[in-house]
Structures are given as structure tokens and as C-alpha cells.
Amino acid sequence: KIFSCRDGFVYLYVTRQHWKLFLTVWKDHAPVFDAPDWLNNLYRRAHADELNPAVQAFVGQYTMAEITELLQAKGIPCVPVNTPLGFAKDEHVRGRGFMAAVEHVGFGSTEQPAMPFMIDGMRPAVGSVPVLDSWQDSDVKHPTFKGLVPSPASGEGKGEGSASGNGPLDGMRIVSFDHVLAAPYGTTILAELGADVIKVESSKGGMDPFRFFGTGEDPNVSPRFLEFNRNKRSLTVNLKHPKGPKVLHDLVAKADAVLDNYSVDVVDRIGLAYTDLCKVKSDIINLRMPGLGTTGPKRHFSTVGVNITAFTGLTYLWNHPGVTDPPIGSQTVFPDYVSGVLCAIIIISGVLYRDRQKKGAFIDLAQSEATAFMIGANLMEAAASGKDPQPMGNASPSAAPHDCYPCKGEDRWCVIAAETEPQWAALANIIGGGIDQDPRFKTLASRLQHGDELYAAIARWTRDKDPFEILDRLQKVGVPCGVVQTGEDLTNDPHLADRGFVVRVENPRLGRVVLPNFPLQFTNAKLTRRWEFPVLGRDTEAVLRDVVGYSEDTIKQLGNDGVLE
């Protein structure tokens, strides 16, 4: 939840594992909060009206920096709700060199976001926007892994056949120490494309928490876990056992890439730092993707998707005009999805680089930078002007109408945009009532000036109509329009069903499950879907036998010794 401080706002995220730690920091809390019931996340949510005002009174005593430092010292996810300018000026962001100086032809000097990753401690260089037809006489080279610039904060740095049998990535093997959503989403993309993704966990304290998402204590019955881990193989190794790291090193020796989204120091403790990996495979591609990256003064910060969003300035922008006290933002874990897609792209690019250059690479992908990269224009505007861009809600500076409108039914909405004058004329003709003759709406400039009146006029027309009826009518005359669909709408959408995007699977563990299919279709590459649940440790013996090359006796002995747990 967002709480106000003396000089702004922070996003505080307290789970069951953080609650007792939080109480040790919140020294003057009421004794009632020490009761065992308050450990339960659901109980705290149900009693938020009692809890939140008390927490607000505690947090409100501090500045953003003070409360952030106080809670992060205990590993509690708390970050400032930055404005775009606040993010661009943050010491961690500047220390990692994410905001890069660039000279744009016709504009001058400014700063803008660089690429949201570092390769062997270096970032791809940021160049000027190309002038029209400049390609004809330009000797500027496209940036590659070689076209890198030093970062103020240097990071670490210095396959064989897969089980998928299909897809363009057939033959690529990924060893993944992923959990929750960001990295699992990226490795799911790789697995869907045919890579052999081996997910490493341990029943001795190293299981993916998503195995228990919305379920009880059984790690093999979470539909949410299936969605983000399908097509992968599950291998269990007890990293606390003395023989555990050796097993993992033998597996890495057979892999193309290794990735994780652990906290920044975890891999060093379990013998999986890049320097350790290079000793067993010198040309390994290693991707690390902690919340704020592997370098910089705030690299140790504990983060989750929603407070990464707050840190970047996106929560501040994700509001209606004037709604910044407090900012509301969104509960969508935007950073996880953006980072996951970039993770898949970077792994593929890294393996291609390895194959062509015959060398490995260490890649540092900060989830915060991946998120901020999506609002690069806002960050550039803030850096150039020294002023923060303000939330715009659903509005557009270059189209009117451009908004979300109420429809018939409980919480039903449609979206309508008119980006050209012919589109506006077609919309006005359908709405009728003389709206096309209203002088306030004659031109784009006048419609933008009278946005509130325009919204009210269109809402009067939409309010008593079914959103799908409006969609059909406006799309037929070329007006961009859509329905704000619910989950039920999507699973029953005839277009998605016709394209095979919505899949209904009968799973022996979960029963009937509705899942999104892979969004890409290939003409000359068959993608074979495997909707099996990746039961914890199901593939351990097969991977150690068929990939690593262990004998049956060795595998049996490792099992007896408790290494494969």
C-alpha cells in the first residue's frame, strides 16, 4: 500500500515473512498487532481499516529516504513513490548510468534512458535519432555486444540437444533459478519456442513461492504456477548439501545459458556467481535480473513488482489528471511482464552472440530499468525540462475523444478514440443529437479544450447501451473502439477462441484449467504444446542421466545422500 511521508510517499509491501520484522522496526505499535492472527495475510487484509491508519501514523513520522532505509535494512520491500524526475535523479539510477547523455540533431544535448541492461559491465551506446535519409552517407554502425560504453557501476564479468523436439529454439538449453513471475515468464517464452528449460528448485527451502499461489500446502496444484512454468522440466537439488553445488556445476557444463531473479547476493552464497559458472563452462551466457540490478548503492533493496513500478515513476503517472496526493497507480505487476519479455530476448541474443563470437557474457538486467525504459519519453521530458510530466489518465494530447465510457450493466465500459477528422465525423453521425454541429466539438483543438463536455456528451450516449453493441457499430464505420473485457469475456471471446489462443486443458491434478496459448504462430516451425504440471522434482533423474551423463548408481547414491531434495 502507498503511505504518505513528510516529503512524499512510499510503497510498503509486507507479507507474512516480513510481518514480525516489520513489528521490530515499528517499536511503538499497539500490542494487539503482536497477536498470531496478524501473521496471516488474509486476516490483515480483512482488518485493513484498523491496520492502515496505525501504519500511516508510524510511517508519517519519517521522510521517504528515512523510512525506506529503516525498512530495507530489515529486508522489507519499501521504496519511494518517485516522480519521473525523481527517478531520473536518483543516486542509484545515476550510479548505474541508466540516464545517458546524448546529442540529438536539431534538439541539442539531453539525457534519455539507455538500454536497460549491461553486458560485462558495459551498456550499449545511445546514439542520436537518425536524420531522414542519413543512412545513405552514414558510417554509424548498429550497436551490438561490441558497441558498448562503460557504466559508472561495473557488473560481474569477466548446448547441446533439448528435450523439446520442436520449435525454433530446439537445441538450446537453459538452466533457470527462477521464482514467482518475472524470470518464470521469460523462461516460459523460451520453453514455448522449443528450448529445454530446466527449472532448479529444492524442497529444502528453495521452492518457487508461486507453487502455493492461491492454494494450500501442496506444491503441485497451483494453476497460476502451471501458467508460468509449463513446458519446463523440474529438477530438485539441495543447495545446502555439500554435494549440491557440484551437481549444479555438472548441469551448467551442458547448458547454453543460466539465469536467475534472486536477490543480488544469493548466487555468491550457493556457488553460482558468474566466475563460478565460467570455471565449468567458459562461454556460458549468464543473465541476472534482480529488482534494481547487481550494482549500484541500492542493489540490495528488496523489491516486488508493484514497488518497482513505484520506484520508476510509473505509479505516479498511472493516474487521472490531478490524482497525485496520494498517487494510486495500478496493482498490475507490469515490471514482471516487461522484464520477462526482455529476459527471453536477451537470452536468445546472448546465445547467438556466443555461437558467433565463441565467448560468453554476463548480463545484468535490472527490472526497474526494464520498466522505466517503457516510459522513456516521459523520463527524457523530465530530464530536459527539469519538470515532471503530469498524469493524463485516458486522455491523449493528439486525439479527442480518447477515453473510457460507462455502458449498460454493472461496471461495464467501452473505449472510444477518434484520431482523425473522418473518424470523428463518423462517430458524431452515429451519436446524433446535433453533436456534429456543436461549435465546442468542431475541431480537434476545440474538442481538446472542451474535454469534460465532450466526455459527458458521449457518456450520455453510451450509458444505456451494451458495450459489445457499441463495439460493432463503431468498428463498422472505422472508429477505433473496444470493450473493457473481464476475465470471463476473454475466456469466451470468439475471436480468441478461433485463433486458438484460449486453451481449455483437462489436467489430472487441477481438473479443467483455462490458459492463454502462446501468442506467436509460425508457418514453418511446429510448436508442440505440453500442458503437464511441472511436478516438483519430476525430471531430476532423467536430467541427471540424459543431460549430465550420471550413471544410475550415481543418481541413486545422490538420492540416498539427500542431495536430490
- Round to whole Å and give the CA distance between 283 and 355: 9
Task: Check residue 204 and give its pLDDT.
Answer: 86
Q: Please report which residue ranges of 120-256 form alpha helices under DSSP H.
A: 182-192, 223-227, 244-252
Please say whether the beta carbons of 350 and 120 come within 8 A.
Answer: no
Residue type at position 232: K
At 170, which amino acid appears? D
Residues of the chain with pLDDT under 70: 106, 129-165
DSSP state of 475: H
Cell numbers 465532450: residue: 454
**Which grid coordinates are listed for 271?**
556457488
Q: What's the pLDDT at 479?
A: 98
Q: How far is the C-alpha of 403 from the C-alpha of 319, rounded, in Å?
A: 13
Q: What is the C-alpha separation between 121 and 364, in angstroms, rounded?
A: 8
- Residue 161: the pLDDT is 36
Q: Is the peptide bond before 326 cis (omega within 30 degrees of 0)?
A: yes
Please tell me whether residue 531 adopts helix, strand or coil conformation: coil
Q: How distant, in Å, are the alpha carbons of 126, 128, 135, 136, 543 from that of 132?
A: 18, 12, 8, 10, 53
**How far is 122 from 378, CA to CA, in rounded Å?**
24
Enumerate residues 6+ apart whose C-beta is below 8 A from 287: 257, 258, 259, 260, 343, 346, 347, 350, 363, 365
Per the CB < 8 A criterion, the answer to whether 354 and 360 are in contact is yes
The DSSP element (H or E) to which 163 belongs, if any, is none
Strands 99-104 vs 108-113: parallel, antiparallel or unpaired? antiparallel
Total Cβ atoms within 10 A of residue 105: 10
Per DSSP (E only), the strands in 155-312 are: 173-177, 196-201, 233-236, 257-260, 285-288
Residue 152: its pLDDT value, please?
60
Q: Amino acid identity, residue 236?
A: T
Beta strand 361-365 with 285-288 is parallel
pLDDT at 140: 44
The confidence score (pLDDT) of residue 151 equals 58
Q: SS3 of 394, please?
A: coil
At 471-490, the pLDDT tens digits run 999 999 999 999 999 999 99
* Crossing angle between the packed helical segments 421-431 and 467-476, to the nearest 10 degrees: 130
Helix axis angle, 182-192 relative to 334-357, nearest 10°?
Answer: 50
Strand-strand pairing, 402-406 and 108-113: unpaired
**Residue pLDDT, tens place only, 347-396:** 999 999 999 999 999 999 999 999 999 999 999 999 989 999 999 999 99
Q: What is the pLDDT of residues 52-67, one digit of tens each?
A: 999 999 999 999 999 9
CA distance 168 to 526: 8
Cα gap 97→138, rounded to integer Å: 27
| Residue 12, strand partner residues | 78
For residue 65, give every residue at least 6 positions away whose Cβ sits within 8 Å of its Cβ, in sequence order, or none: 80
C-alpha cell at 387: 519538470
Distance CA 411, CA 417 (A): 20
**Nearest alpha carbon to residue 399 among 369, 421, 367:** 421
Integer Cα distance of 142 and 246 in angstroms: 41
Measured over the CA atoms of residue 460, residue 466, residue 471 and residue 477, the dihedral's sign is negative
How many helices and strands, by DSSP H and E, does the chain display?
24, 19
Burial of 434 per CB tally in 10 Å (0-12, 13-18, 19+)? exposed
201 to 176, 237, 455, 557: CA distances (angstroms): 9, 6, 52, 19
Asked if residue 401 has a cis previous peptide bond (ω within 30° of 0), the answer is yes
The whole-angstrom separation of Cα 78 and Cα 466 is: 42
**Sign of the dihedral defined by the CA atoms of residues 396, 401, 402, 405, in that order:** positive
Q: What is the pLDDT of residue 134?
A: 56
d(CA 288, CA 265): 11
Contact (CB, 8 A) for 208 and 542: no
Report the alpha-carbon distance of residue 401 to residue 447 in Å, rounded.
7
Distance CA(372)–CA(354), nearest Å, equals: 28
C-alpha to C-alpha distance for 9 and 359, rounded to whole angstroms? 45
Hey, which bits of 105-210 come out as E strands?
Answer: 108-113, 117-119, 122-124, 148-150, 173-177, 196-201
Asked if residue 380 lies in contact with residue 373, where contact means CB atoms within 8 angstroms, the answer is no
